[in-house]
Amino acid sequence: MEHVLVIAKLSVFDPCLLPDKIEPTFKHYGDKKIDDLGSHFLAGDEEAKNELSAEWMSFKYHILRLKKDVLEASQEKKTTDVVLKRLLNLRNPSDKGYIFPRLSHIAAIILSLPVSNAWPERGASAVKRIKTRLRSTLKDNMLSGLLQVSINGPPVKEATELVNNCVDNWYKSKPRRKLKGLAVAKVVTTAPAEVMETADAGVQANLNENDEEEMGRVRSKMSHILKLLNLTGFPR
């Protein structure tokens, strides 16, 4: 957490945040952040920290003079990085020493910090999202353009006009063949057919056999009763 706070204080070198020298806040602008940077990078050396504060009082006037050039040169880089690199290039013509040695010491440390892996991971995620299995034949130049739009492109709302212009230019570049629309399937309605009741033949055979067995048992009982009653001649 402490390192994050230290890096946040490097915004003091951003020329976009530096007020104009006619403003009241310019005189003491950045003094607290420079003192904190000195306490971190020059700990235990009070003389060096005093020299750092003195150099800052002069260097912020130098940032004002370079502000226009820095903003023009920072189209592809962060303005803070441009200022720190300019700071390292400020040397005495005689002995090639730094004009602001204490500030240059901090600038050299900051510019040598390892780059975060967030950007490479973001690029790898974009490659997986764009170059899928079905689009594996994308050429390098097309893939590079799509990655630039995906990673560094403007928000969709801001890009709507640009996308529409690109589509119009593509459509007007040569005659395009319009695809026919899909025919609407006709819905055919038919009356429901009569439901025929069916029965399994095997089930019917089983029922007939059961009836015959039952009738046989009834006849046998009737013959036995008539014999007991001596009515054997009675019609059955």
The tens digit of pLDDT for each residue in 56-104 reads 999 988 888 887 777 776 565 678 888 888 888 888 877 778 888 899 9
How many C-alpha atoms does 10 have within 13 Å on its Cβ side? 20
What percentage of residues in the chain have a pLDDT greater than 70?
78
Residue 133, pLDDT score: 87
| Core vs surface per residue 84-123: b (16+ CB within 10 A) or e | bebbeeeeeeeeeebebebbbbbbeebeeeeeeeeeeeee
Please tell me the predicted confidence (pLDDT) of residue 205.
46
| CA separation, residue 173 to residues 33, 108, 176, 177, 180 (Å) | 57, 52, 9, 13, 21
Task: Report residue 16 CA to chain centroid gap.
Answer: 30
Q: Which residues of the chain have pLDDT under 70?
A: 1-2, 73-77, 115, 179-211, 226, 228-236
- What was the pLDDT predicted at 130? 92
